[in-house]
Chain A
Amino acid sequence: MVKEIERAGITIVQMANLVSIAKTVGANRIVPTVSIPHPLGDPNLSPADERKMRKYRVGVALQALETGVEEATIFEVKY
């Protein structure tokens, strides 16, 4: 799906847990998520910290959309 959307000329970032698979199958901008059942949530964090983490990772995704890449790139996250 990522590829078909990118093929249509739309810039896309995939937020994925299995980043190596995302890369293998052809996504070009990839941001890691926390886990499969809660990609952008973490039950170990307080609700406030969880939301902060989510905003941070979505922020990384936004940066990815604004970053020119030459090849499939995983944008690292700090937390």
Chain B
Amino acid sequence: MKKAVHYINQFFGQIGGEDKADYAPTIHVGVIGPGMLLKNTVAPEIEVTHTIICGDNFFGSNEETAIETIIGYLKGVEFDLFIAGPAFLAGRYGFACAKICKAVEEHFGVPVVTSMHVENPAVEMFRKDLYIFEGGDSAGAMRKDVPALAKFLKKLANGEPLKSAREEGYFPRGIRFEAFTNELGADRVVKMLLKKLNGEAFITEMPMPKVDRVDIAPTVDLRDATIAFVNSGGIVPVGNPDRIQSASATKWGKYSIAGQDSLKGGEWQTIHAGFDPSFANENPNVIVPLDVLREYEQEGRVGKIHEYVYSTVGTGTTQADASRMGAEIAQQLRDANVSAVILTST
């Protein structure tokens, strides 16, 4: 039988309400409050042996102390699993549950699981780090949320293979797992299309991430502007001096184009692994059109072309890396007083 420890706040730990929210962490043998339901639903595979209670404000204002104290308690306990919450829509409680789960996982390497409502801010902050189950918005959902957690905990305890986030019921962590099916992609996509045409519900296999919009930048008078080239088509000097990865890039490079009328094949190349590079290797201007922008510069159509081109590879690149690289390049452009950019993507 596997052993589990349960974390709850002062309210569910029956210490008190808001007035007891500064309650310092304590550890107790056995279960308390929602732990009863947890205990009954995870048995017989798992025994919940201990409960940790901490006030939400204490955790929020003394995060390091709270984590240290709880980790200290846990060092004296044998356990295989750690559960926090459910926290529903309680913001501070959700944060504490997620934060302590993360700390316990890092210190002890045991599976950690929590549950909360989709709008609990901790979901967005921690869903990539943890199994956070989608829960209701109030304690009224306890009878539904705890058994969902329990089912998953039993799977973890038995070492059963896990299914996708949607099938298990936790928030997607952004991890892809290769799986085999008997139905070809072409069959699946046509079925999906037919459902879409018929106005029926269907589930995409490739959900597009939600986008945060940025304010649209104002127009530029190009005659006075410095304009720069950025590209995700992997255009670099031959030999790839910065060793930018050909896929899943985490690096970008900046290369001088000062005094060049065009990007010459043999001097520049693409290192992008996602397409046939022969066209761009022969004539790199098909990705970074320096040759024609120089003409516009000479004609006075644009003020000045910035002396560097910024390059990376945009295939398999994570959104996080793309954002970081974009921000780093933006800083360089600002420092150089660049006011307009042409970004070519492939």
Interface, chain A (partner B; CB < 8 A): 1-17, 22, 24-26, 28, 33, 36-41, 43, 51, 54-55, 57-59, 61-62, 65-71
Contact = CB atoms under 8 A, between A and B. Distances in A.
Contact of B214 (A3, A22, A51, A68): A3
B21 to A, nearest CB: 37
A41 B220 contact: no
Contact of B289 (A9, A13, A54): A54
A17 B346 contact: yes
A61 to B, nearest CB: 5
A26 B286 CA distance: 24
The 8 closest A-B pairs by CB, nearest first: A4-B326, A41-B286, A1-B326, A8-B330, A55-B292, A38-B279, A11-B217, A37-B275
Interface residues of B, number: 58
A68 B326 CA distance: 23
B287 interface: yes
Interface in B259-301: 274-280, 283, 285-287, 289, 291-293, 295-296, 301
A3 B222 contact: no
B296 A26 contact: no
Interface stretch (B8-16, B116-124, B333-341): B333-341
A47 B295 CA distance: 16
A69 B208 CA distance: 24
Given A3-B214, A7-B214, A26-B213, A37 B343 contact: no
A37 B277 contact: yes
Interface string B214-227: 11111111100001
B66 interface: no
A71 to B, nearest CB: 8
B329 interface: yes
A74 B212 CA distance: 19
Contacts of A70: 216
A66 B279 CA distance: 30
A9 B292 contact: no
B276 to A, nearest CB: 5
A43 to B, nearest CB: 7
Given A5-B329, A62-B301, A11 B218 contact: yes
Nearest to B276: A37
Given A1-B326, A24-B211, A10 B334 contact: yes
Nearest to A3: B214
B291 A54 contact: yes
Given A7-B214, A55-B292, A39 B330 contact: no
